């Protein structure tokens, strides 16, 4: 009996029904982003090695110099601006879960560009949502991205290692200075991360307050190193 070659079958299916670019609808690769749209995506350029905030020569930013964050570095694929912001909002609030794959692929590309021996984490952990927000949304966007990353990069994804302990107000609704206070003690972490290098996955990093609080809890639970991986980094004016 002839066996079916799955790879060949997939390539025939791709030929018959090619992927469409999630930005422009043109024919795209399996990551669903066409070459021109990929080139035009808003990149960050020189950035702070810890928090990925743009800096002129890639030096450590003022905020990280003043207070070293509990994570070693931030891998951010793009800036959180048009057209990526629209795509992420469609994914999150429009509940278009199929967008998890192209968004995760942007992070895979960023990871492969910077891959080094000390860069590969032992495990992936998704940024948790509060219980009420997860029920309201029906899914956790970070978990969906992390699932795709784990599959593509062949890294273990540890579910429920990190949980939200309180239904704090949405960060976006708070003044900048309140954000660190709001998420302090908002997380609890199991000992399953002890002794491991963790990459904490999220869709967007804005002030970094949530990432800091989560990374702090991961370190407290014994993680030897925490990196933050986000699809997009919001670059905002923090003055005032």
Contacts with Zn ion, residue ranges (CB under 5 A): 21, 23-24, 26, 34, 37, 48, 50-51, 53, 61, 64
**Partners of 210 in beta bridges:** none
Q: Which is nearer to Zn ion, 61 or 224 (CB)?
A: 61
Q: Which is nearer to Zn ion, 47 or 92 (CB)?
A: 47
Cite the beta strand spans of 25-148 per DSSP E: 73-79, 123-126
Longest dimension (CA), the chain: 72
Contact 209/179 with Cβ under 8 angstroms? yes
Min. distance of Cβ 24 from Zn ion in angstroms?
A: 3
Q: Which is nearer to Zn ion, 109 or 122 (CB)?
A: 109
Q: Which is nearer to Zn ion, 78 or 129 (CB)?
A: 78
DSSP state of 34: -
Q: Which helix (H) or strand (E) holds 202?
A: strand 197-205
Q: How far apart are the first and last CA of the chain?
A: 72
Contact 47/53 with Cβ under 8 angstroms? yes
For tokens 């791709």, what's the residue? 14
Min. distance of Cβ 36 from Zn ion in angstroms?
A: 6
Min. distance of Cβ 224 from Zn ion in angstroms?
A: 21
Min. distance of Cβ 176 from Zn ion in angstroms?
A: 15
Min. distance of Cβ 88 from Zn ion in angstroms?
A: 16
């Amino acid at each position: 009996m002839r066996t079916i070659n799955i790879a060949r079958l997939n390539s025939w299916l791709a030929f018959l029904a090619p992927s469409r670019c999630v930005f422009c609808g043109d024919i795209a690769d399996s990551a669903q982003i066409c070459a021109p749209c990929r080139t035009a995506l808003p990149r960050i350029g020189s950035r702070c090695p810890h928090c990925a905030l743009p800096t002129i020569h890639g030096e450590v930013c003022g905020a990280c110099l003043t207070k070293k964050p509990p994570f070693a570095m931030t891998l951010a694929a793009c800036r959180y601006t048009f057209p990526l912001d629209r795509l992420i909002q469609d994914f999150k609030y429009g509940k278009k879960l199929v967008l998890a794959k192209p968004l995760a692929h942007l992070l895979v590309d960023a990871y492969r560009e910077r891959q080094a021996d000390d860069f590969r984490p032992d495990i992936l952990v998704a940024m948790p949502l509060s219980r009420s927000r997860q029920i309201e949304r029906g899914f956790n966007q970070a978990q969906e991205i992390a699932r795709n990353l784990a599959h593509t990069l062949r890294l273990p994804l540890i579910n429920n290692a990190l949980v939200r302990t309180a239904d704090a107000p949405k960060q976006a609704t708070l003044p900048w200075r309140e954000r660190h206070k709001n998420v302090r003690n908002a997380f609890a972490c199991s000992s399953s991360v002890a002794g491991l290098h963790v990459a904490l996955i999220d869709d967007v990093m804005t002030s970094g307050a949530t990432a800091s609080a989560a990374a702090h809890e991961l370190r407290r639970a014994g993680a030897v190193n925490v990196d933050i991986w986000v699809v997009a980094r919001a670059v905002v004016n923090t003055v005032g």
